[in-house]
Amino acid sequence: MEQLISNRKYELTRNNKIIPIVMMAIGVIAVVMGFMTDKTRAWAVLLHNDFYFTAMALASAFFIAFNYAAQAGWAVGIKRIPEAITGFLKFGMVGLILIFIFGHHDLYHWTHPELYDKASPEYDRILAGKSGFLNVPFYITRLVAYAIIWIGFSMAFRKHSLLEDTDGNIVHYKKCVTLGAVFLVFFAVTSSTSAWDILMSIDSHWFSTLFGWYTFAGLFVSGMAMITMFTLYLKGRGYMDHINENHLHDVGKFMFAFSIFWTYLWFSQFMLIWYANLPEEVVYFHTRWLHYRTMWIGNFFVNFIAPFLILMTRDAKRQRIILWVGGCIIFLGHWIDVYLMVMPGTVGTEWHLGFIEFGTMIGFLGLFIWSTLNELSKAAIVPQHHPMMQESLHHHI
Amino acid sequence: MSTAVNAKYEAEVRDPLILGKKSYHQMTEDICRPIEGKANKYWWIAFIISATTMLWGILCLAYTIGNGIGSWGLNKTVGWAWDITNFVWWIGIGHAGTLISAILLLFRQRWRMSINRSAEAMTIFAVICAGLFPVFHTGRPWLDYWMLPLPNQFGSLWVNFNSPLLWDVFAISTYFSVSLVFWYLGLIPDLATIRDRAITPTKKFIYGLLSFGWKGTARDWLRFEEVALVLAGLSTPLVLSVHTIVSFDFATSIVPGWHTTIFPPYFVAGAIFSGFAMVLTLMLVARKVLSLEEYITIQHIELMNKIIILTGSIVGVAYITEFFMAWYSGVQYEAYAFQNRAFGPYWWAYWSMMTCNVITPQLFWFKKIRRSALATFIISIFVNIGMWFERFVIIVTSIHRDYLPSSWTMYSPTFIEVGIFVGTIGLFFTCFLVFARVFPVIALAELKTIMKKTSNQYKGKGV
């Protein structure tokens, strides 16, 4: 087993260098086309994709943190993957800040100054009441704060993880346990507030206390799908001999369980609003029901029924091909879920699912893959001196 | 079922879960001792106190049946108060047992094996205590079978399937049955051990019946483990669903302070939080009285305290979210409900809740405190009190002043209501004390499976 702890780094192939760049080029073309056809649509598509990919990178930071805090041993063998994925956070956060600065009038109704002018016919009492929270300077401050917290913690995890490789000191592990616990506190608050800021405030009048946790559930399950797919890819390329079907079974369980958890929160939010039928709340689902019906119903099937049936059995979670299928479905499914959170409040009834939407997604995916593979090529794929490495190597369930 | 990592590979950074020089025989001796010996003085004192309290509760219940719900402090505005608070509080306490036995099983947490038996027993007793409140709140408990969707002689009179209260009937009775089966299944091998060690024929006969002829063969174990895994899989959604549906009782309404979407997961987190507090309260006493400190170690207490701080913080985030949204929503009724909670006539209940649930558990960030049995005991009592207040705050402050100011009023419990609540605490402890005398409080057979992996004398050596 010792020979499995190699210090091999990921070597980028020619395709690894070319394909992400082609994907990014497609993305750029899609965005340019978007701005030429409809500015609002282009901003909305950018926000949708930037948020989605940032959320998956954030989920990786969360994965690292809770595995340290919970002293999980099995996941040590794959921890370099979420570490590498968090490298995308810097691109994602810069993107979100820029999208807000340049696109806020198209995306966020509450940013229009006339809403707060009592003399104006556009004056909005409710939004004026929220202006202590929803105002441009405070909003940008919050975005910057999220960037600092998320990127800062991710870099700290990475730093100690790599130092552990070189000097093998247990101090780094202990430091990461503390960092993990502290990050969870920050994450608990920022995962909710960022969801209110970036997504919920698009529908400026609407509110739901569960929204933050609902977004978190989607973020986590799609992040798990990404971690799983990168693991499968590296295993296919022969970098992951220390990972066996037992580890795959565990990442599969996370995808399965949190698909159900997402559904639980989806149902809780929808059912309570539908049951009480208060106009100020039900308007959110009413819009989606009227104008996005197929996708809104499909969302439930793609993100619940499909992963539930595909990943239910033990054997399924131990099969690489089935995990690939499950991972792709979850990835696309939650892309649709975020689409349904962004579009009705921005482009409204004028929604499209065409080259601009998919092209931009491909572009972001290219950047995501490029960033992750690049990070993977910088450090050994197998952590060298992690105190729980033996547990992970001998993982058997 | 449990992770099969060999002891040789278990990380050194993990603390041992069984202390002292233990052999399999020594473990049997230690854990069967409370059942086979005579009860000591402390047990009798505790038993007499709890049984007396329970009797008082029974008297108060009898008075309620004789005189009707008018003997409680309810009024036209506040039609739900003390009784439903106690109901939710007890149901919540039950959650730790299922979490430990089911969810921690799925997460392969070995430390659950020292505490799951008592926690599951606690679940069952807590659900019994909880069930009493709605049963008697109907006022005519002899007609409670009307809560079931039975064909009946009154024509087309059916239960209201649209009502979360009916969903509660289904959820809680299912939960109770599955928890009972799960708990009993785990007991079977241990009951067989007691049977085999029994020295009187009566004892041998009774434990023989209870253990269903368990022989401990490989086939027995195979089936046992399969059923345990299936039940764990069933219990996991069940434990989430029970408190979710309890939260629906409130959240489907349009009462400000009740109708909020965060309720389902937040109630579940709160339930686990209060459940672990009660497990700690009970286990800290039990490990001392039954001399089980080497099985329920400081490490176990620390891990439970970490769950307390996690769930306590989730609950804290939910409180703040609700408060923030009440303002953010711009709905004046919602905003008023929360203002009234914090600064209205029931401010003392709100701030008791905040102090006990959000502030005190944060002390567990200090390693010294979370590894101190005494500090943990005190904080666990705080959490128990805080979680009771949480339900009282949600229920009473939201309805005592709702949309119609001419109906605003106050609520205070009567002597009878307090008596019934105190009586259920007596019932709970009486059941637990009896349980500790007749069943092993630690899952002996299960714990033996990890002895060579995590006990301090084997750790790191390999077998």
HEC per residue, chain B: CCCCCCHHHCCCCCCCCECCCCCHHHHHHHHHHHHHCCCCHHHHHHHHHHHHHHHHHHHHHHHHHHHCHHHCCCCCCCCCCHHHHHHHHHHHHHHHHHHHHHHHHHCCCHHHHHCHHHHHHHHHHHHHHHHHHHHHHCCCHHHHHHHCCCCCCCCCCCCCCCCHHHHHHHHHHHHHHHHHHHHHHHHHHHHHHHHHHCCCHHHHHHHHHHCCCCCCCHHHHHHHHHHHHHHHHHHHHHHHHHHHHHHHHHHCCCCCCCCCCCHHHHHHHHHHHHHHHHHHHHHHHHHHHCCCCCCCCHHHHHHHHHHHHHHHHHHHHHHHHHHHHHHHCCCHHHHHHHHHHHHCCCHHHHHHHHHHHHHHHHHHHCHHHHCCHHHHHHHHHHHHHHHHHHHHHHHHHHHHCCCCHHHCCCCCCCHHHHHHHHHHHHHHHHHHHHHHHHCCCCCHHHHHHHHHHHECCCCCCCC
Asked if A209 lies within 8 A of B260 by C-beta distance, the reply is yes
The residue in chain B having the minimum alpha-carbon distance to the alpha carbon of residue A275 is B252
Length of chain B counted residue by residue = 463
pLDDT score recorded for residue B462: 46
A210 contacts on B by Cβ (under 8 Å): 260-262, 264-265
ipTM comes to 0.92
The residue in chain A having the minimum alpha-carbon distance to the alpha carbon of residue B325 is A209
A184 contacts on B by Cβ (under 8 Å): 310
Tokens coding B210: 């209870």
Q: Would A175 be classed as within a structural domain? A: yes
Nearest to B3 by CA among A246, A397, A250, A391: A397
Numbered residues of chain A with Cβ closer than 8 Å to any chain B Cβ: 71, 73, 125-126, 129-130, 133, 170, 173, 184-185, 188-189, 192, 205, 207-213, 253, 260, 264-265, 268-269, 271-273, 275-276, 278, 280, 387-388, 390-391, 393-397
Q: Would A4 be classed as within a structural domain? A: no
Interchain CB contact of B384 with A (< 8 Å): no
Q: Which position has the token pair 């701080």?
A: B309
Q: Would A385 be classed as within a structural domain? A: no
Q: Would A397 be classed as within a structural domain? A: no
pLDDT beneath 70: ranges in chain B: 1-8, 155-156, 459-463
Asked if B14 lies within 8 A of A260 by C-beta distance, the reply is no
Alpha carbons B125 and B428: distance in angstroms, whole number: 6
Asked if A208 lies within 8 A of B261 by C-beta distance, the reply is yes
Asked if B261 lies within 8 A of A275 by C-beta distance, the reply is no
User: Are A110 and A204 within 8 A, CB to CB?
Assistant: yes
Tokens coding A286: 């009413």
Q: Would A157 be classed as within a structural domain? A: yes
| DSSP symbol at A352 | -
Q: Which domain holds residue A84?
A: 13-379
Task: Tally A–B CB contacts below 8 A.
Answer: 100
A179 conformational bin, left if phi > 0, alpha if psi -120 to 50, beta if neither: alpha
Q: Would A6 be classed as within a structural domain? A: no
Give the angle subtended at the CA of B134 by the CAs of B333 and B166, to the nearest 5°. 75
Q: Which position has the token pair 């260098």?
A: A17
By Cβ distance, the residue of A210, A280, A388 closest to B262 is A210
Length of chain A counted residue by residue = 397
pLDDT score recorded for residue B18: 85
Q: Would A394 be classed as within a structural domain? A: no
pLDDT score recorded for residue B1: 37
Q: Which position has the token pair 């570490």?
A: A83
Q: Could you give the number of structural domains in chain A? A: 1
Angle between helices A14-37 and A355-376 (to 10 degrees): 150
Chain B, residues 93-122, CB within 8 A of chain A, namely 106, 108
Output Rg (C-alpha) for chain B, integer angstroms: 23
The residue in chain B having the minimum alpha-carbon distance to the alpha carbon of residue A193 is B321
Asked if B237 lies within 8 A of A260 by C-beta distance, the reply is yes
CA distance A291 to chain B (A): 23
Alpha carbons B388 and B369: distance in angstroms, whole number: 24
Q: Would A87 be classed as within a structural domain? A: yes
pLDDT digits 0-9 by tens, B97-109: 888 888 888 888 8
Chain B, residues 307-336, CB within 8 A of chain A, namely 310, 313-314, 317-318, 321-322, 325, 328-331
CA distance B322 to chain A (A): 6
Q: DSSP 3-state assignment of A396? A: coil
Q: Provide the Cα torsion B95, B96, B99, B100; round to 10°.
A: -150
Asked if B244 lies within 8 A of A208 by C-beta distance, the reply is no
By Cβ distance, the residue of A268, A276, A396 closest to B265 is A268
Which residues, other chains included, contact B129 with Cβ-Cβ below 8 Å and sequence gap of 6+?
B86, B90, B424, B425, B427, B428
pLDDT beneath 70: ranges in chain A: 1-2
How much is the mean pLDDT over chain B?
A: 90
Asked if B265 lies within 8 A of A260 by C-beta distance, the reply is no
CA distance B313 to chain A (A): 8
The residue in chain A having the minimum alpha-carbon distance to the alpha carbon of residue B315 is A188
Alpha carbons B394 and B256: distance in angstroms, whole number: 10
The residue in chain A having the minimum alpha-carbon distance to the alpha carbon of residue B331 is A126
